[in-house]
Amino acid sequence: MGFDQRKNYPLLKSHAIRLRKSGQSYREIRDAINVSKSTLSYWLKNIRLKQKHKERLYTKQVEILSRGSQSQKQRRKREVDEIIKKAEKEIRLPLSLAAYRLAGAFLYWAEGSKGKRFSLTNSDPHLILFVIRWIESIIKIPARNLKARLNIYPQQNEKEIKKFWSDVTGIPLNNFGKSYVKPFSKGYKKNNLYYGTIRVEIPKSTDIQYRIFGWIKCVLKKIDPEIKIKEHRWISLRKVSRPVNLPKETRP
């Protein structure tokens, strides 16, 4: 077994047997005497526990298992909190005007519509308020001049949700258009959108869009040639014909 000759194994074995007979678990015994798990198993394989000791160890094991997932969650939460805390120190506030301008521009590039006017839809109050403040600061259009529309579920209170978003954004209730109410669905939605989603619009904002795209284009200028080369190399992907929507009665 590769015993350490410096240890008094007969004495340790005797002590281990006494602890086991008193109802101690293998882990508790190993904490008391420094021997390997295999050695302990060999020594104690013929030791039978009393019923009361079995019940205690079983109850303790159940408690350990029940705490296991929770303790892992708590540990991971502490790790995530520490990551976020360190990351916050990497940002210097207040943001420079250029950084702030680009933060909103790239947010619009990712989340905004690419239609004939500036509009952005989201359900996160933090994101929406950031966009409102950005529009007021960078585009110089006050919230009272913006338009809004809601996308909600039939079981939600439209009037109260309008009041909520009006309170968050500063957009007057009179500037809210007709809400889109989603039909009932049998499907289960994992994330509850308690406030629905809101679409914020800047009226007559085509030129504003072009201005924002100009800011983005400036930042992407360095990688633009590389993308053009890649797209040319894969130009065959654009030769796929568009799908045709067949009437229901002709579908297989």
Given this model, what pLDDT does residue 3 score? 43
Q: Are residues 81 and 102 both part of a single domain? A: no
Choosing from 55, 85, 115, the residue where a domain stops is 85
Residues 92-142 pLDDT 10s: 999 999 999 999 999 999 999 988 899 999 999 999 999 999 999 999 999
Q: Are residues 45 and 151 both part of a single domain? A: no
CA distance linking residue 140 with residue 125, whole number of Å: 21
Choosing from 85, 120, 147, the residue where a domain stops is 85
Residues 211-241 pLDDT 10s: 999 999 999 999 999 999 999 999 888 887 7
Q: Given a cut of 50, is residue 145 above it in pLDDT?
A: yes
What mean pLDDT, rounded, does the chain reach? 87
Given this model, what pLDDT does residue 80 score? 93
Residues 182-215 pLDDT 10s: 887 665 555 568 899 999 999 999 999 999 999 9
Q: Are residues 46 and 153 both part of a single domain? A: no
Q: Are residues 207 and 105 both part of a single domain? A: yes
- Which pTM does this prediction carry? 0.66
Q: Which domain holds residue 50?
A: 9-85
CA distance linking residue 121 with residue 197, whole number of Å: 7
Of the pLDDT bands very low, low, confident and very high (cuts 50, 70, 90), residue 247 is low
Q: Given a cut of 60, is residue 5 above it in pLDDT?
A: no
Given this model, what pLDDT does residue 194 score? 87
> Residue 221: inside a domain, yes or no?
yes
> Residue 1: inside a domain, yes or no?
no
Q: Given a cut of 50, is residue 43 above it in pLDDT?
A: yes
Q: Given a cut of 90, is residue 252 above it in pLDDT?
A: no
% of the chain beyond a pLDDT of 70: 87
Counted domains in the chain: 2
Of the pLDDT bands very low, low, confident and very high (cuts 50, 70, 90), residue 35 is confident
Given this model, what pLDDT does residue 128 score? 97
Q: Which of 54-63, 172-181, 184-193, 240-249 has the highest mean pLDDT?
A: 172-181
Q: Are residues 136 and 108 both part of a single domain? A: yes
Q: Given a cut of 90, is residue 251 above it in pLDDT?
A: no
Given this model, what pLDDT does residue 200 score? 97
